[in-house]
Chain A
């Protein structure tokens, strides 16, 4: 990862600007990074402490069950869909369709990006109540942000709510 300049109070750092401009030049002339800084921050108070909570992991690593369709890595605007990753899945159960990060870490140890094993350990220790029955993966390279947020993320969230998930940990790759 390159040097990151943090600039929280307005303006845009060179790094974000160059990322945005690079994507405009190469992919989508109208692309803008999401900027919610002027909007209110939505906030839900947990209903239960994490020691009693059913917790889901949401990765952007492009993981999918081998029997499920892979993400579309050919579309220059990315793939806004998501896949269900059942509790207890192992690296062998999963394919990866994401061409924008080094897979060697997760090939060596899935817990680097999707720590399903550690979630079970946390349950055994009583640190969390339960690992959700269905975890999720998106594919992190996606410029179709409106479609991702307004359609797919909402549908995914409703699925987690149906599973009585109490909290989610989002892990980008």
Chain B
């Protein structure tokens, strides 16, 4: 929703999604899906490599995508399973 407003203002965006089905309804122009829990869209604490990988996925989408509505599923995993 915010992404769509920014795009209208001429600012390209990429949106990380923790809840793909709800994000799909909001229809942002560029989406990176991650299977992480709420509260940690970039990955688990202290896992800089993973957090950086999520950031790089976002940057790649900004550089590569030439049309709106693109969803990329990041194949990235937590170092350890998140606690329930």
Contacts and interface: CB of A to CB of B under 8 A. Distances in A.
Nearest to A40: B68
Contacts of A111: 42, 48, 51
Nearest to A112: B40
A149 B8 CA distance: 12
Category for how many chain A residues contact B: 35 or more
A172 B18 contact: yes
Contacts of A4: 19-21
Interface in A5-61: 5-8, 12-13, 15-16, 19, 33-37, 39-46, 49-50, 53, 55, 58, 61
A76 B8 CA distance: 30
A130 interface: no
A44 B10 contact: yes
Q: Which of B28, B39, B46, B58 has the most CB of A within 10 A?
A: B39
B59 A128 contact: yes
Nearest to A105: B40
Contacts of B39: 61, 101-106, 112-113, 173
Contacts of A101: 38-39
Contact of A161 (B10, B15, B17, B62): B10
A7 B24 CA distance: 9
A153 B8 CA distance: 11
B50 to A, nearest CB: 10
B74 to A, nearest CB: 13
B63 interface: yes
A79 interface: no
B42 A41 contact: no
Interface of A: 1, 4-8, 12-13, 15-16, 19, 33-37, 39-46, 49-50, 53, 55, 58, 61, 100-106, 108-109, 111-113, 115, 118-119, 121-122, 127-128, 138, 145, 148-149, 153-154, 156-158, 160-161, 165-173
Given A36-B4, A112-B51, A127-B56, 7 more contacts: A19-B22, A34-B26, A61-B39, A102-B38, A154-B5, A157-B2, A167-B12
